[in-house]
């Protein structure tokens, strides 16, 4: 598949079969994260790979809504950025997330981006503080997002190029 085909097929998958992801595929997804571009090559990211079922359940309630799929995921990659290293840690971490999205899709692994930064739990606590406590993360590492991973139990339709909002592309001036 060309990169464009992979991009057309990349969809967020929130239902998983419960089967395990091949370790080799997980390594490729993590390699993709580490290969992402970052400002001044600062690579401010840290990735916590969580497979423990109880911990996945706890992460699934790290948001009031939007993280439920972690309870059925095989694995989560929690992405943190070092704010002491760079002021563009959010952009850098998002690049790593995007790389993981594409690599997972290319390998047939279902995944979904779960926003962590600026979000709250049902109790009104910051998701970041809740997760920092769970995973024992030092305070200068800021939560960006969580990638849920699992074998897809649903297959959202791929995108079609002629249905993209091409009006968003402006030529020469806005």
Ligand X SMILES: Cc1cc2nc3c(=O)[nH]c(=O)nc-3n(C[C@H](O)[C@H](O)[C@H](O)COP(=O)(O)O)c2cc1C
Q: What residue ranges bind ligand X (CB under 6 A)?
A: 11-12, 14, 66, 112-115, 156
CA 137/CA 65 separation, integer angstroms: 23
Closer residue to ligand X (CB): 84 or 156:
156
Give me the least distance between CB of 94 and ligand X, in Å please: 7
Neighbours of 57 (CB within 10 A): 12
CA 153/CA 150 separation, integer angstroms: 9
Give me the least distance between CB of 155 and ligand X, in Å please: 11
Give me the least distance between CB of 13 and ligand X, in Å please: 8
Closer residue to ligand X (CB): 11 or 85:
11
Give me the least distance between CB of 11 and ligand X, in Å please: 4
Q: In DSSP terms, which residues pair with 81 in a beta bridge? A: 45, 142
Closer residue to ligand X (CB): 139 or 157:
157
Q: Which of 62, 82, 67, 66 is nearest to 129 (CA)?
A: 62
């Amino acid at each position: 598949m060309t990169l464009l085909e992979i991009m057309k097929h990349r969809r967020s998958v929130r239902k998983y079969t419960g089967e395990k992801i091949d370790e080799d595929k997980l390594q490729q997804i993590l390699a993709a994260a580490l290969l992402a571009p970052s400002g001044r090559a600062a690579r401010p990211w840290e990735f916590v790979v969580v497979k423990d079922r109880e911990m996945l359940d706890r992460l699934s309630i790290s948001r009031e809504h939007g993280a439920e799929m972690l309870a059925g995921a095989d694995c989560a990659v929690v992405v943190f950025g070092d704010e002491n290293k760079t002021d563009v840690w959010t952009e850098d971490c998002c690049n790593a997330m995007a790389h993981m999205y594409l690599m997972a899709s290319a390998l047939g692994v279902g995944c979904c981006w779960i926003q962590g930064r600026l979000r709250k739990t049902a109790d009104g606590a910051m998701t970041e503080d809740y997760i920092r406590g769970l995973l024992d993360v030092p305070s200068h590492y800021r939560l960006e997002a969580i990638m849920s991973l699992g074998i897809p139990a649903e297959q959202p339709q791929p995108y079609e190029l002629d249905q993209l909002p091409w009006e968003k592309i402006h030529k020469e001036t806005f």
